[in-house]
Structure 1
């Protein structure tokens, strides 16, 4: 059986898709069979950082409408054959199709070690179906006040359902103190933190997620996060690169989460 993990947030623009792509890449590099599902219905974009846009013929909507089998929609990564993508649909889906989404997860459960779901933002139907089908949930938040407020709301809703383990990934921090402040605000297990880094954006635009490059600090950090995830390690001591005029220094600050 696979570990089905939904990656979500309270609002859009916090980097869910980037996090999904890089954690998926990192797990595949460790030898796991990984499936990434773009469940952000109507806003397909997980294929872009993975560099797989030109390989898409059919998408998740075709499967949910019973027009094809699961094998027809899966796109294999160019170099990591153990990494598969289920492309999202640019069309909105119906309630019946949402039910088929949960059935799909049950169908493919035995095929992979990890299934990562890139969830829709907000609290509409797609969000709840992406959550309900998962064993675990990772909440992505940036230091932005509105992102933290929305993340706190999502955490409250999910904790009230008391279904899956929750963890937090801080994305786009610019100062180490921001991470510490977030941990004091949100009472939740921390999986890791990723700095604001122009190299991440450049890698996405090239279709080569930064986790593929172990010579770049953010790539290493994504790999460490995936390693912690695979071992169920949370609240670990994490080296946060310190900033000096928006550039990394070689000094690491250790925060005990």
Structure 2
């Protein structure tokens, strides 16, 4: 039986094609990489071949952004076939997806829209998670969103996530940057949120940079275009104190720095992982 994740309890980096040739031959610890699934759904070609080459050297996490798990409709069967083909063609240590919806009735919006935190939505999202897990023949990790508004809900988001874990056997990708943004924008208590998640359910953590909305100065945006802030590093440390040693990813999707700078941020995460005291999940 495949575990929630086969990633090492070390820090990884979100890998972009611009950095394929910048990966050093030797790095400290057990470096791993994560890529967005939708960038590699083609059949063949140099980009996929390069990813397969990287995956022979380093553990690889595949992160989906377009399945629309929290949407009102069943998942797109053609998209599921392409995801399954990717997972079968590239050694995959973990697979994750967002709890969000990005399409309805055959229309794709190209964005991650908030999933209603309701009992009805819980049942539909659980069905979609089951559908995806059956398609790729492995459990997935589901990621908490970055929230910008308060919506009426039937339960807390952490309770929603844990209910999905219990219903489907999936795990959680705890995005600490998203949690920090949600806390700022909607007033939730991030410590309480983390405490309401079972440590054994968390298979991966994300950290990233964020930005201030240029108009609404009190609003934070999940932009992934800057260094991880000191406040997010502090929240990561709090999360690791609850979870124990766990794979932590440095996300960067815009304003890409040299690969050496991403390695330097990765080393900060490594130090926090190594100093966490709780026994790791199994």
Normalising by the residue count of structure 2, what TM-score does the alignment of the two structures yield? 0.40
Higher share in strand:
1
Highest relative contact order (Cα 8 Å, sep 6+), 1 or 2? 1
Normalising by the residue count of structure 1, what TM-score does the alignment of the two structures yield? 0.43
